């Protein structure tokens, strides 16, 4: 058997893509029923940021000092520019430069 594919890889990919499509379709179908103001709306507005934070911080902690400095660079750049692209670039550049100069 080809080492490129694990036995369950294709079903897992199909399941993940089906779930992703289903979530997107569900969001489109339910968009008219979402609240336009109030606490539920504020919760929904902050949800993408909290999900991104919950995925980013554990990775930065696991990366050690370089990851935490990269996360700090992200925070500083985002606070000044509000640009997600520049924020991501600053974080990656910070980690890459520290690893390059420290030999990690």
Q: Which region holds residue 83: left if phi is over 0, alpha if psi is between -120 and 50, else beta?
A: beta
Structure confidence at residue 53 as a pLDDT band (50, 70, 90):
confident
Report pLDDT digits (tens) over 54-84.
888 898 899 888 899 999 999 999 999 988 8
The residue written with tokens 């995925």 in the block is: 55
pLDDT of residue 54: 85
pLDDT of 93 strictly over 60: yes
CA distances to 14, 16, 41 from 47, in Å: 26, 21, 10
């Amino acid at each position: 058997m080809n080492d490129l594919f694990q036995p369950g890889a294709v079903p897992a990919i199909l399941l993940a893509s089906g779930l992703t499509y289903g979530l997107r379709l569900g969001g489109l179908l339910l968009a008219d029923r979402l609240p336009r103001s109030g606490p539920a709306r504020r919760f929904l507005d902050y949800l993408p940021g909290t999900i991104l934070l919950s995925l980013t911080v554990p990775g930065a902690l696991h990366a050690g000092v370089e990851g935490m400095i990269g996360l700090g660079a992200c925070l500083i750049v985002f606070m000044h520019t509000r640009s997600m692209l520049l924020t991501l670039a600053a974080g990656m550049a910070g980690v890459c430069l520290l690893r390059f100069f420290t030999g990690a």
